[in-house]
Structure 1
């Protein structure tokens, strides 16, 4: 009799616990229902939370910013998640300042007048194919933002090239609310990267800054006194002494100079040819930065697609480096918030005071002579692990100058930017950093990052392999004995 009563009590406790669990679930659902804006952002870069810079600018708007969001009901698949994230972003901004940040959502599919207004505002419809009734049809959709501030308007087309809507929205607001765009000069006349190679770069820089050409190969061209930032992208020919003298005098005034440069040039057959920059190298050494005629290879690298006589093949290519988050300088805001970056055939730098390293290769990298005949992936020899070190790939001097050097130019080319746009974030971070516009740095760095698998030594790989084999079996054995112990105690309690 007593055992039956005890069994009944055990069953009753079981049902009560289940009922309590159900009540907790219902209670949590009610909280979510009544507090829809309550959310917990667990992403590493707080992707779904407004940055302090955005909150400050939205709260301190002097006048009304009217934002028209043209969005069709039927969107291409790659825009649907972006549309949802953008709606959350706009709602969060509106809640910060409802009277000064006004959002109007317009669907051109439902109203012909809205469609005509979108076209009048300069919105280009998206063309995409869709499957309807077992047939592919070409459809059009609208997806763009139009911002108005006073008598100024700016169209902000939304694309998936760079997944950072908050940054581009904030930068557009800053442009509308400021008197003029920041201006900087782009050097030319020495074989620098041109528009055909860097159209994506020019496209995004043109949205944010006023760009002026500076051809120092022209004897009549002089650096104007009001120029505060000069950008040089991959000069192939050496600067003459007159050009270097101008740049030297300019840097001595603590005006910003950003240089992307290679010590080696590769042709389509991956054969190398050293580049000589005697005057610019002498200038850089004055500020603690030395460009070495060496190319850095690294085990922390990307997969590349190559062609051979037998056909295309994929291989891990050590000259395409994957920069690890731990190698970014945490003391420099321009790179401290970056979580990923890819560089291609980078040159090595040698750094001395007062210059600082911006980022470097991993500790599993090595140097290759820039004068070797080929960088063909089938002819790469790897050194012993004892010959591996970390090498600086970028440097900055803010003590007696405003000088930044990145020992790679390929990372800015369209074909590489399309695969990894973080190089644009690096460049624009440096521009903003030297322009004293730190507010945009933390916003631009909020992007989806890939967490790379760190390379392991052979002994560490063996340890991990044995742990992977033994740990699941050990967990199963522990669970088996625990379950057996609990069942035994349960049956003993019923027989008492």
Structure 2
């Protein structure tokens, strides 16, 4: 009887130990699951970090409140070179999906397998791209899809040819940020005072802004207030602002708006390379906010060489007023950080 009781006790202990280990195991799994959600890590072992998303992109994905649908329309009949590029793009899109943590939905569609889809894509502004295919005895021109459609709630944006994008991650992340901003961020240029034209002189800047924000042009010359839905106003090199214009700028700031002033302290006559102090009427307004602007010229020993005429001779000499910045040297010295905007620049001249 004592032996049976002892065996029964041992069996009971075995079951208790098993149950305890099971509870411990489930507890550890719960802890690991919590840590994996809180501290997420992926390793990119490629030499150039081809699949590593930037911190800015990860932050954009982290702050998404609703799902983003990314549809990639890639044809199967593309040349090998383009297929290789699109394969890298797919890998990067997968990274977006992973770091989106359920907020990025990815669909890859081959329009060649669905002729009816092509008509629908045309109505949405998505068209095939032409490319050349070299055969044994001829050079043929064919068409295929290399497009991307990004949709957030009822908003959408299309990239008809993603291979031509210089910085795919920047373009896609900027689009996601633009579509998901609630309410959308609105940026405007001040006009009506002989500022550079937003659609001609500042076309590159305007295009870059439109990729990420809503854009408009506002005019205060008639005394109308700056619209309340404007978040940021750029005042770029106006000829002269009157008292009413400055009043509207001040009221805009008082309502919580933000202004970036990009002003010229001097007016340069390009034909003769002569400069005069520029009076745009903004010194008193800036002084009211504690900003003092000097109407000075900057010179530097590192400068651009210019061609000048002296009598009948044409000479080339250093011109200290045209400061030259060698981007690579500043990067090596740690004075500026790597940025997609600077990746293709070797030097910048500031005339």
The question of a shared fold, defined as TM-score above 0.5 by the shorter chain, is answered with yes
**For the Cα contact (< 8 Å) 1:181–1:208, is it kept in 2?**
no
1:208 equivalent in alignment to 2:212: yes
Query: In structure 2, do the counterparts of structure 1 residues 323 and 152 end up closer, same or farther at CA, with 3 Å as the change threshold?
Result: same
Provide the rounded CA distance (Å) in 2 between the counterparts of 1:274 and 1:76.
59
Provide the rounded CA distance (Å) in 1 between the counterparts of 2:79 and 2:241.
50
Corresponding residue SS for 1:296? coil
Structure 1 partner of 2:235: 232
Corresponding residue SS for 1:208? coil
1:281 equivalent in alignment to 2:286: no
- Tell me the CA shift for residue 294 of structure 1: 4.1
When the two structures are superposed, what TM-score results if normalisation uses the length of structure 2? Answer: 0.64
Residue from 40, 44, 47 that aligns with 1:39: 44
**For the Cα contact (< 8 Å) 1:184–1:228, is it kept in 2?**
yes
Query: In structure 2, do the counterparts of structure 1 residues 278 and 203 end up closer, same or farther at CA, with 3 Å as the change threshold?
Result: closer
Q: Deviations over 1:330-383 (max 9, x none)?
A: xxxxxx97537xxxxxxxxxxxxxxxxxxxxxxxxxxxxxxxxxxxxxxxxxxx
1:448 equivalent in alignment to 2:338: no
1:67 equivalent in alignment to 2:66: no
Provide the rounded CA distance (Å) in 2 between the counterparts of 1:135 and 1:317.
54
Structure 2 partner of 1:122: 125
**For the Cα contact (< 8 Å) 2:196–2:236, is it kept in 1?**
yes
Query: In structure 2, do the counterparts of structure 1 residues 143 and 40 end up closer, same or farther at CA, with 3 Å as the change threshold?
Result: same
5 Å-filtered alignment, 1:360-399, equals: none
> How many equivalent residue pairs?
295
Provide the rounded CA distance (Å) in 2 between the counterparts of 1:137 and 1:317.
52
Residue from 142, 146, 156 that aligns with 1:143: 146
Structure 1 partner of 2:338: 339
Q: Deviations over 1:201-240 (max 9, x none)?
A: 3233223222232212223x223455442112232x1111
Provide the rounded CA distance (Å) in 2 between the counterparts of 1:256 and 1:54.
24
1:86 equivalent in alignment to 2:89: yes
Query: In structure 2, do the counterparts of structure 1 residues 321 and 255 end up closer, same or farther at CA, with 3 Å as the change threshold?
Result: farther
CA RMSD after TM alignment: 4.4
Residue from 222, 233, 256 that aligns with 1:218: 222
- Tell me the CA shift for residue 129 of structure 1: 5.4
Between 1 and 2, higher relative CO (CA 8 Å, sep ≥ 6) is seen in 1
Q: Deviations over 1:124-178 (max 9, x none)?
A: 4444556555755555443321123344433244567874322332332234444
Structure 2 partner of 1:258: 260
Q: Which runs of 5+ in 1 are unaligned?
A: 1-36, 309-313, 329-335, 341-420, 423-446, 453-496
Query: In structure 2, do the counterparts of structure 1 residues 47 and 231 end up closer, same or farther at CA, with 3 Å as the change threshold?
Result: farther
Corresponding residue SS for 2:278? coil
